[in-house]
Amino acid sequence: MAGTTSNVIVGAAEIGVGTWGAGTTLSSTTGIDPIWSALKTAVSTGKDYRGWINDATTPKSLTVGGQTLSVSDVGLTQEGVEVSYSPDYGEVEVDQLLDAARLFKQKMSVQVKTTFAEATLENLVIVWDDPQTPVGTTEKSIYVKPGTLGDAPSERVLFFVGPAPAGSSTLGNAKQRVYVASRAVSMEASAHSLRRNEATVFPVTFRLLPDTTSSYSAYGKIVDITG
């Protein structure tokens, strides 16, 4: 069987998390496609999406549909990023076949998992789905809050950039695969330890929700930048 070794991808991703300004709600002007267009414009020079996110040690701003999206790099990670695409199918059984005659999709979920290796308060509030913003210089703090009845999760924009198949491109910065999700929610339990001989890390799982303002009501968009 013929194959192309340049299509074999190895390498971790750079991860950025975007937070909307107060009062912003997802619309046709702030969905996946407008977010991608704004990002593409911001990273037009050199097409270095990984570098753009990596440079967001202080939040960088994207203007999307007249709204401000503040994007921060989460820094170092462990064990890369895992994307799980989980369809659930029902079936119709018939007597004559002793098996299913038809399958139909009855449920769907997409998740993104990673581990934040930089145990900052900024990363902790993302993992805990907390809208607090740690502030201060010599003393920075957050509260461990119980929440209130009827609390809704915070929806964030998730960016991660890893290597793309090399193909025939000769542009080093251009061989990147960009993932964009407009509705990412951290909604699973997360635990971290403070141990004598191990780093404190923050495992996080984001559940992606469909963006009904986009084509196909998509969970996100994946773009290979190859030239």
pLDDT of residue 1: 61
Q: Does 161 score more than 70 pLDDT?
A: yes
Dihedral sign for Cα atoms in the order 33, 34, 39, 44: positive
Sequence-distant (6+) residues with CB within 8 A of 180 are 32, 35, 36, 39, 157, 158, 159, 220, 221, 222, 223
Q: Does 124 score more than 80 pLDDT?
A: yes
Global confidence as pTM: 0.91
167 pLDDT tier (thresholds 50, 70, 90): low
Average pLDDT for the chain: 90
Helix H or strand E segment including 104: strand 99-116
Taking only the tens place, the pLDDT of each residue in 29-50 is: 899 999 999 999 999 877 889 9
pLDDT of residue 21: 82
pLDDT of residue 56: 65
Amino acid residing at 119: A
pLDDT of residue 59: 87
Pairing verdict, β 67-73 and 60-64: antiparallel
The number of residues making up the chain comes to 227
pLDDT of residue 70: 94
